[in-house]
Structure 1
């Protein structure tokens, strides 16, 4: 396959995981190239996601690196080939690449856990609420930029409604539920939408009230994207400039898994969370 000049997040992640296997095997790039029968430049391109591989080639590389984790090897083999022509590719010309990569990442996920303190989770937002958020961005967006972002966000929500919908767990702090973006009518509609979505079998919503004594948090909203094997999980962080940051180091994944587990333990259970949101709706 010819080199890829602009690899997606998924292609870069495959390269990163192959680099991790090489490093665990104790091979330098030079030694790996000799073992694989390629030049050093090809190894570098593989590890940056710029050299697409076949599934058989990935298995051969994993064997060369003495990887015996069959579940991981199968998952890596499934990531091969050129970029998937999903709906998100239509957005690549008018949205930041990180947002396009996020949609692809969610599409291939096997589960999603999110935690937010100041905003409603993107996949649970109504169109009116999302539009109000985009209008509040600094510096202001042009109207066509808002519409592109809005279309992208609404299409991302399709993973919750597709055949075989994505298991989705959201932890929302009370502060996010009380924010008045768009005014009372928009807020009421947004909270009712969360209640409706929480009835879906694949969606779990938990609320952390203000009076919770213990609130473990990184101080940042984040999504924990569950991969086919734990090594392929990804943490997505919202950045202050409106982009996406992606973390995949083992220590980082472990940290955010622990934070989520602690946050779930101090949140209301799903039934009490629904009752809590219902009371908020009644008081608007």
Structure 2
């Protein structure tokens, strides 16, 4: 396999998981290289995601590391080989790499759960609402940059449709519903879109109203479930862009935070009625 000069987040994650298996086996990279018939530099390149690895090689690593977790091994094998280009790769030249990586993670996810306080979840935004948000970006986006971001966001929403739409749970604070980005017409259409999307079998929309209590710091959290729990990822929105977390303790922490937020939220039916009342107020 050829080395990759700019590995994607998914490729880096595969390498990181292979490194974890090696460390759990108590092997240094030098010892692992000798065991597997490779040189130490090749093992390091694979673990950093800079060198593509085949499914056969992953299985050989797993045998050498005495890993008996077959579901994990098969999930890692599915991440190997020549990477098939997805629609998100078209945007790597125009947008921050993290946005393309996020779209790829969502594409391979088996479930998504998000919590937001100030904004409507990206996958549930109308085009007009998203455009209004992008007008607030600092420094201001150029017209072509705005169009790239808008089309990327709309294409990301494709995971909610099709023959096998991903299960999606959106925990939205009342503050986000009342922000009013884009003016009354845009806001009304956005809230109605939330109601409509919440009717889909794979989508759950729950509102956390003022006064109900709230867990966490109010930070936007996106929990992306992989094909096995070890491949879950948390994505946080920050002022400097996306931050991705995958350490076991971090995953457990944010899963617990989301559980507490969901417990404090209204039921899906009560949330639908709540949003409907807001539509009537606009």
Give the TM-score, by structure 2 length.
0.99
Using the TM superposition, give the Cα deviation of residue 232 of structure 1 relative to its aligned residue in structure 2, in angstroms: 0.3
In structure 2, what is the equivalent of residue 126 of structure 1? 126
2:235–2:245 contact (8 Å) kept in structure 1: yes
Structure 1 gap ranges (5+): none
- Write out per-residue CA displacement over residues 124-176 of structure 1, whole angstroms, 9 at most, x where no aligned residue: 00000000000001111111100000000000000001210010000000000
Q: Residues of 2 paired with 1:9 and 1:116: CA distance?
A: 23
- Asked if structure 2 preserves the Cα contact closer than 8 Å seen for 1:8 and 1:83, the reply is no
Q: How many residues of Structure 1 are paired with residues of Structure 2 in the alignment?
A: 282
Matched position secondary structure for 1:225: strand
2:272 counterpart residue number: 274
1:86 correspondence with 2:91: no
Gaps of 5+ in 2: none
Alpha carbons 2:116, 2:218 under 8 Å: kept? no
The residue that corresponds to 1:226 in the other structure is: 225
Write the distance in 2 (CA, Å) between the matches of 1:210 and 1:169. Answer: 20
Given that 1:123 and 1:154 are in contact with CA atoms closer than 8 Å, whether structure 2 keeps it comes out as: yes
Moved over 2 A (4+): none
The separation in 2 between residues aligned to 1:165 and 1:257, in whole angstroms, is 22
Deviation at 1:236, TM superposition (A): 0.6
Matched, 1:61 2:92: no
Separation in structure 2 between the aligned mates of residue 178 and residue 272 of structure 1, nearest angstrom: 17
Residue aligning to 1:169: 169
Q: Secondary structure at the match of 2:134?
A: helix
Which whole-Å deviations, capped at 9, do the CAs of 1:171-211 have from their partners, x for residues lacking one? 00000000011000000000000000000000000000002
Q: Does the Cα contact within 8 Å between 2:112 and 2:222 map onto a contact in 1?
A: yes
Query: Per-residue deviation at 1:82?
Result: 2.5
Provide the secondary structure at the position in 2 that maps to 1:139.
coil
Normalising by structure 1, report the TM-score.
0.98
Q: Distance in 1 between matches of 2:65 and 2:142?
A: 50
- Aligned partner of 2:11 in structure 1 is 11
Provide the aligned C-alpha RMSD in A: 0.7
Measured after TM superposition, the shift of residue 84 of structure 1 is: 2.2
* Alpha-carbon contact 2:25-2:66 (below 8 Å) kept: yes
Q: Distance in 1 between matches of 2:244 and 2:220?
A: 13
Q: How does 1:240-259 map to 2 (within 5 A)?
A: 240-241=239-240, 243-259=241-257
Q: How does 1:40-189 map to 2 (within 5 A)?
A: 40-189=40-189
Once structures 1 and 2 are overlaid, which stretch shifts more, 48-57 or 228-237? 48-57
Which has the larger displacement, 149-158 or 30-39?
A: 30-39
